[in-house]
Amino acid sequence: MSTYLITGGNRGMGLEYSRQLKKRGEHVIATCRSSSVELNAIGIRVETDVDVTSQKSVMVLKEKIESTQIDVLILNAGISNFDSLVDFDYEKILQQFKVNTLGPLLMVNALQGNLKEGSKVILMTSRMGSITNNDLGDYYGYRMSKAALGMAGKSLAIDLKEKGIVIALVNPGLVRTGFIKSSQRGIEAKDAVCKLIKLIDNITMHDSGSFFHLDGSIIPW
């Protein structure tokens, strides 16, 4: 049994990770701002009031989990807002950086003492953060915040290599959660997470600092 800590566990893919990992017998700690009926029904440890943009709330979480060793830290919480040169909202772009880029970095910084040799840190990212794959434009805040998360992940892989801690960025593809605001497109969260868990199981130190699609292929930066 391994210990998994997941951010944004109350809905979407975070909820699905919590469900599937609990089902296969793992020790799961789900964090969220507010819990949900679905998350409470799983029967795992839930830590509420964890806002990844708040250093204070992340430090409170750190105090609560004390010296618990984390085998897999899944930094899943994220937001997306449409923005373009026409529909430009500075504050919304800034908020995407706070949640998508600084949030995961803050969590790793706070919980680095809970990670041990062989622990994995999974950064949930998006192909939209690939500069090479950007052929549609728009979504400035989302694209830039996930591209910057890639840079954070690469530095973390270098900085934590000596401790034997593995960092990987994973793209789930288009997944039917509240995130994409359309029920017609994408695959079901349960199918995406099932594949993501298999991918995470197989990631090793050799892969640290890589940017994966859920089928295991490498996405160019």
Q: Which two tokens stand for residue 29?
A: 């700690």
Least Cβ distance, residue 2 to ligand NAP (angstroms): 21
Residues 5-34 that bind ligand NAP (CB under 6 A): 7-8, 10-14, 32-34
What backbone torsions phi and psi does residue 82 show, to the nearest 5 degrees? Answer: -75, 135
The binding track of 127-166 with respect to ligand NAP, each residue x by CB under 6 A or -, is ----------------------------------------
Q: Is the dihedral of CA 55, 57, 60, 65 positive or negative?
A: negative
Least Cβ distance, residue 65 to ligand NAP (angstroms): 16
Q: Are the C-beta atoms of 47 and 107 separated by less than 8 Å?
A: no
What residue has token string 């295991």?
216
Can you tell me which of 2, 45, 186, 191 binds ligand NAP, judged by CB under 6 A? Answer: 186
Q: Which residues pair with 46 in a beta bridge?
A: 30
The binding track of 109-128 with respect to ligand NAP, each residue x by CB under 6 A or -, is ---------------x-x--
Q: Is the dihedral of CA 15, 18, 21, 24 positive or negative?
A: negative
Regarding 179 and contact with ligand NAP (CB under 6 A), the answer is yes
Continuous segment of H or E residues that includes residue 157: helix 140-159
Can you tell me which of 60, 79, 152, 205 binds ligand NAP, judged by CB under 6 A? Answer: 79
Q: For residue 174, which of 162, 163, 183 has the smallest C-alpha distance?
A: 183
Which residues sit at the interface with ligand NAP, rule CB under 6 A? 7-8, 10-14, 32-34, 51-53, 76-79, 99, 124, 126, 171-172, 174-175, 177-180, 186
